[in-house]
Amino acid sequence: MTEYVIHPLVVGINETDQGIMTYQQGYGTRIHLPIYVFYLEGGDQRIIVDTGLEDFMAPPDVEARYGFQVFEFEEALASVGLKPEDVDIVIQTHLHNDHCENTYKCKNARIIVQKAEYEFALNPHPIDHRYFPELLEGLNLEIIEGDREIAPGIRVMLTPGHTPGGQSVIVDTRAGKALITGFCANDKNFPASAPVVAPGVHLDAVEALESAQRAKAAADLLLPLHDLSLGARKRIPE
């Protein structure tokens, strides 16, 4: 069995409200929201999950406060020995702009995206302002439907609700199955001794909650897509 090490690379950070993450909870609590590229090291292909923001301004104290470095996309890949043109596969959890602004730089990569996500991104509803169809132009897209193995030891699981075609990424590691959520979440969505909490931003609240429940059930190691604690971890598992 192919086993991987996951490298969470911070490629942007925003300040927002916790209620953006957790449905009907946490409003009024300001948080920092890291944006990640995940490099999946192992196997014979160079695979990343998401590509982050192209333009951002990190608050000046963030790196010292949280113990991680905030990279430009190219710097992030260089930190694990890669250049954008080296990437073979980009798995897009979804197509909100903060997850795909650098995808066009991976000129040799197959871009894995769910059909429902792709179709919505081409003609987005104005209720969701995070889609920019021009970000898809010129990409080598591989449109899939539903759960799918992407490479030995890596598969995607359709987890809609936050967006129409979000997909979580399940990765075999020596510590079990690690799951990168395909929807906005941090640690507060997955309390240790309480039910999961749906993402605060969603197009379908019921689907969003059910997807979060399925993600938790499928994971030995749960990696919420915007969890602050991941940024200080160089390798998962350590």
Q: pTM for the complete prediction?
A: 0.97
Residue type, 57: M
Model pLDDT, residue 61: 85
Work out the percent of the chain whose per-residue pLDDT is above 90: 93
Closest C-alpha among 127, 130, 51 to residue 87:
51
pLDDT tops 80 at residue 55: yes
Model pLDDT, residue 60: 79
Q: How far apart are CA 206 and CA 91, in angstroms?
A: 25
Q: How far apart are CA 143 and CA 169, in angstroms?
A: 15
Task: Indicate the pLDDT class of residue 27, thresholds 50, 70 and 90.
Answer: very high
Domains and CATH numbers, the chain: 5-232 (3.60.15.10)
pLDDT tops 80 at residue 57: no
Q: How far apart are CA 71 and CA 160, in angstroms?
A: 29
For residues 38-56, give the mean pLDDT: 96
DSSP class of residue 216 equals H
Task: Indicate the pLDDT class of residue 205, thresholds 50, 70 and 90.
Answer: very high
Q: How far apart are CA 49 and CA 220, in angstroms?
A: 19
**Contact at 8 Å (CB) between 103 and 51?**
yes
Mean pLDDT, all residues of the chain: 97
Summarize pLDDT for 104-159 with one digit per residue, the tens: 999 999 999 999 999 999 999 999 999 999 999 999 999 999 999 999 999 999 99
